[in-house]
Chain A
Amino acid sequence: MFEHVLSVMIFLPIVAGLVLLLTPAGKGIARLTGGVISFAGLVLGIDIFFKFKNQGPLQFVENIPMIPSLGINYSLGIDGISLFILLAGAVLLPMVYLLFTTKSKGYYANLLIVQGAMAGAVCAADMILFYVFWEVMLLPVFFMLGLWGGESRIPATIKITIYTIAGSLLMLLGIIYTGVSYHAQFGEWSFNIVQMTQLQMAGPVAVLAFFGFMIAFAIKIPLFPFHTWLPDAYTEAPTATTFVLSAIMAKIGVYAVIRLVVPIFDGEFARYALLLAYSGVIGMMYCGITAIAQKDFKRMFAFSSASHMGVIALGVFCMNLQALTGSVFQIVAHATSTGVLFLFAGILEDRVKTRKIADLGGIAYTAPVFALFFAIAMLASVGLPGTSGFIGEFLIILGAIKFNVLIGVLAGTTLIIGVCYMLWMFQRVFFEKTKPASEGFKDLTLTEGLTFLPVILLIIFMGLYPQPFLEKIEPAAQLHLAAADAGKTIALADNTHALVQGSTVETQK
């Protein structure tokens, strides 16, 4: 049982979700099943966390041949980077079943499937397997958005689906190209991610393959200028879907950059790192400034999420240990804080039946617990010292300054912009005069409060004592950067017209 713990984490929810879809089970049973299965996932996740050794290489490895003629295996394994994204999913998803009690069967079933598929994408150690899960995790989102979304859900659904599939098909091309190159260089077929790092990629086709991967992930993250699907999808989606999209699925995009692009396309990555870093910074500032102007709080959170994803992606593009570690840490921090904020937004919307900031006011007077929890999650999201958000953003900005001073300075403004839109929104919604829509706003119930409490405590704990997390991340981060061979990468980047001129690429601690 234990050697297949990752498979269990992947397929338990998927099978449960499919069974629910195929049988005429009622809502109650569906929610109960969903809750129990995702709670089982949480228990397994915590178990994995404590059994995980602080080392670089993959652990909990499983390997079964699937298509021997092409070297495609069902191989799984996690390292310090995937561990935290896996855990973020395991910790956050059970909350949905506790908070949303009246949804239909398909809603819960799709949530289960997406949970399993996301775990699969994170654990996959074979590129084809990764691609399969990557595509499968889109399908439940497609159905949830289209079936239970807001008024203009269909255009939003089409937009996100076509966008994402276009990206992933380009990635498929990249995957196959790397596989074929591996065959050409080593004489045997393989799509194993770890083996791929030995590959020597060069030439124009390698650049194309690199952009095939990068565009797919840039769409998923989303990175400027591929973010245009995000506001519509996040706003129209039902709360749980927005939550899944922002808290975990977007992170898988960043994770995939760390896992697939940095080690395999080290040369190309170094060449275009500055371009990518600028796109992260621009996206961060642009989405942040747009967030200030939003009149709809869910849309504002959507832009805020996009803005933070820009920072997280920036951490990966800086190619040094501080920034990368910060990125992975920030992935968890952002998953908890923004995820929780979207859940709060869902609760708010359920109770006041509006998403307009202007219609709300004075909620803090009648709902102090809600206001307190909201404030903590919000402050973590803007990166207040003492919360989880600070550690990650600090490390990323530190790394960014080492990489390129201008980028670092621009990245620093994220804190200011974040404060602008968040605090202003908080002031208008929670303080000021009570508006008709928010009159008699009910505070969190005991169940809701207890559901949020562990995550709120986690936010504070991670901010005050980040060491247990950082020491699990660092070995893997170091290994990933070491795969990008230091001397060669810098030489390549400098010789081939370095977009990174004048910056330092640091691959050792």
Chain B
Amino acid sequence: MTNDFMLLMPLIITGVGAIALMLIAAYDKVTIEQASMASMGVFGLAFLVQLSNTIGTAVVPYDTVFNGMLVISNFTKVAGLIILACGFFTSMSAHSYFKQNNFCTTEFYSLVAFSACGMLLLTMSQELISVFISLEIMSLAIYILVGYDRQNKRAAEAVMKYLMLGAFAGAFLTMGTALVYGGVGSTKFALIGQAVAANGFFTNPALVCGAFFILVAFLFKVAAFPFHAWVIDVYDGAAAPVTGYMATGLKTAVFAVFANFLVVDETMRAGWVNYLFYLSILTMFVGNLIAIGQTSLKRMLAASGIVHTGYLLIALVAVSSEHFSGSVILYYLGAYSVGTLGIFAALSYLGGANEKRQTFDDFKGLARVRPYSAAAIAIFLLSMAGIPPTAGFMGKLYIITSAISAGQVALAVFGIISSILSMWYYLRLIINMYFHEAVEGFEDTADFKFAPACTFILVVCVFAISLYPIAV
């Protein structure tokens, strides 16, 4: 029982921390800097507890406490680690970001912590109703974070788009849950799996429809083709730290539950893999085509996020439900998160007041003026492009290896072609930063501490993660 309690501690810490942050926000004396540090404290503590849990190997299905609705395994523990780290670095870069952008209030950090609660719950959920609830806890907080800058038209547009479409996705999930319940008589993943194993998957139309709707909801949240169109505007409209958070923490959580749901039963997985195969190819290529045409950095990163979703779908296609460890998916999510968070941390302090530097051209000559920042961004970009010896390369290596091992050679070939295409837009920023004369002095980016420190830590992580071997 104490063990079980310890395994839930990170979630409890984040939840209590979120409420506490909300309460202290009522006091005028608390500045947003202090709130940011408090939020970092909460995430840091939760991360450390999660880290100590991760070293153990306990798998806890919480049969008695939650009636089997939550399951903690190594997979969820590591996913939780990534999410908590994302929350920590987001708070850290927001600290600097809100020195030049003044639409922040202290509640901001409380919302970051609340959405992290939703994400943590989502990774552990093994039951469709709790999936829906945790998805909504996460999404509601994220909707507010996206539209936090109420005066900004683009943020308002972003939140409108995201809210409307997100609500549809939520509706799809509920509908799917209802249909699955109608077909199987349970919403628990384990019982669904048993029912499918006993009666088959395609013999049960309600189950097929329901699983399809649930798939749609997940694909929407991870921004896979053909539900990718919202990403560009939403990522562009949100504040840089929030965009980084959405691109990493949210994606990690949804991919975790996606994988958990997919491995419920082998016949069901095999049925979906045929469609996921084409979806992942289309996601990669559509993302690349969108990214190549962008002139704004944030929009390019949003589109490249779509491409990375495509790679993660490759990893999903290659998982096997018999020995599911999900280590490849998590490794790639970790590597991708480090690179993305790093770039958004750098944008948080390099963007200037009201994010005035947005396009590739605005960063011309950055290397002449701020060589260390430029080097950090270059390292993150190279990691996202998958150039060794970065974490991104190892992630890609694992994904391609698992795809070829699973017999999906064609998928591996498309993955490689897609990463060749993606070189263009990653290199473009590096070329702009390094090979052009500086057009401005970037003087307003000098006196920040937190976001540059965050960038530095993440650069170290890029190389540290690449050295960490995983079992495939």
A interface list, Cβ under 8 A from B: 21, 66-70, 72, 128, 131-132, 135-136, 139, 143, 146-147, 153-154, 157-158, 161-162, 165-166, 169-170, 172-173, 176-177, 179-180, 183, 205, 208
Contact = CB atoms under 8 A, between A and B. Distances in A.
Contacts of B375: 21
A146 B435 contact: yes
Interface stretch (B211-219, B236-244, B416-424): B416-424
- Majority secondary structure of chain A interface residues (helix, strand, loop or mixed): helix
Contact of B424 (A69, A154, A162): A162
Interface stretch (B97-105, B122-130, B400-408): B400-408
Contact of B435 (A68, A132, A139, A153): A153
Interface stretch (B58-66, B171-179, B464-472): B464-472
Given A176-B404, A180-B404, A183-B405, A158 B427 contact: yes
B423 A173 contact: no
B229 interface: no
A154 B435 contact: yes
Given A146-B431, A158-B427, A205-B409, A169 B419 contact: yes
Contact of A69 (B416, B419, B435, B472): B472
Contacts of B469: 66-70, 72
B387 A172 contact: no
Contacts of B185: none
B326 to A, nearest CB: 14
A183 B471 CA distance: 15
Given A69-B470, A131-B388, A173 B412 contact: yes
Given A139-B382, A146-B435, 11 more contacts: A66-B469, A69-B472, A132-B389, A139-B387, A146-B431, A158-B431, A162-B427, A166-B423, A176-B400, A183-B405, A205-B409
Contacts of B460: none
Contacts of A131: 388
Contact of B431 (A128, A154, A173): A154
B397 A165 contact: no
A70 B435 contact: no
B48 interface: no
B434 interface: yes
Contacts of A154: 431, 435
A128 B389 contact: no
A146 B397 CA distance: 28
A146 B434 contact: yes
A385 to B, nearest CB: 44
B457 interface: no
A147 B431 CA distance: 9
Contact of A161 (B393, B409, B423): B423
In the A-B complex, the 9 residue pairs with the smallest Cβ-Cβ separation, listed nearest first, are: A67-B469, A132-B388, A69-B471, A146-B435, A166-B420, A180-B404, A173-B416, A169-B416, A135-B388
Interface in B341-392: 375, 382, 387-389
Contacts of A208: 413
Contacts, number: 75
B229 to A, nearest CB: 28
Contact of A176 (B401, B420, B423): B401
A136 B388 contact: yes
A136 B389 contact: yes
A183 B413 CA distance: 19
A94 B412 CA distance: 42
Contacts of B382: 139
A173 B435 contact: no
Contacts of B413: 173, 208
18 contacts: A21-B375, A69-B470, A70-B472, A135-B387, A147-B434, A161-B423, A162-B423, A170-B416, A172-B400, A173-B412, A173-B413, A176-B397, A176-B401, A176-B412, A179-B401, A180-B405, A183-B405, A208-B413
Contacts of A135: 387-388, 393
B423 A70 contact: no
Contacts of A205: 409
Nearest to B419: A169
Contacts of A161: 423, 427
Contacts of A172: 397, 400, 416
A151 B427 CA distance: 19
Residue from the set B382, B409, B470, B472 with the largest chain A CB neighbour count within 10 Å: B409
A157 B388 CA distance: 19
B386 to A, nearest CB: 8
Contacts of B389: 132, 136
A94 B20 CA distance: 63
A72 B466 CA distance: 13
B401 A70 contact: yes
Contacts of B400: 172-173, 176
Nearest to B436: A154
Residue from the set B382, B413, B424, B470 with the largest chain A CB neighbour count within 10 Å: B413
Contacts of B397: 128, 172, 176
Nearest to A183: B405
Residue from the set A162, A177, A180 with the largest chain B CB neighbour count within 10 Å: A180
A161 B385 CA distance: 13
B186 to A, nearest CB: 36
A239 B47 CA distance: 51
Interface in B432-472: 434-435, 469-472
Contacts of B387: 135, 139, 165
Nearest to A165: B423
Contacts of A67: 469-470
B439 to A, nearest CB: 16
Nearest to B417: A169
Contacts of A132: 388-389, 393
Given A135-B388, A154-B435, A177 B419 contact: no
B388 A180 contact: no
A46 B388 CA distance: 30
A143 B427 CA distance: 11
B423 to A, nearest CB: 5
A113 B470 CA distance: 28
A70 B470 CA distance: 9
A154 to B, nearest CB: 6
Nearest to A66: B469
A21 B367 CA distance: 12
A165 B421 CA distance: 10
Contacts of A158: 427, 431
A179 B382 CA distance: 24
A66 B393 CA distance: 15
Contact of A157 (B405, B431, B471): B431
A232 to B, nearest CB: 15
B423 A157 contact: no
A161 B427 CA distance: 9
A143 B375 CA distance: 12
A21 B372 CA distance: 10
Residue from the set B375, B397, B412, B434 with the largest chain A CB neighbour count within 10 Å: B397
Contacts of B423: 161-162, 165-166
Contacts of B412: 173, 176-177
A143 B374 CA distance: 13
A172 B403 CA distance: 13
Contacts of B393: 132, 135
B396 to A, nearest CB: 8
A11 to B, nearest CB: 12
B410 to A, nearest CB: 10
B380 to A, nearest CB: 14
A153 B413 CA distance: 31
A70 B405 CA distance: 11
Nearest to B470: A69
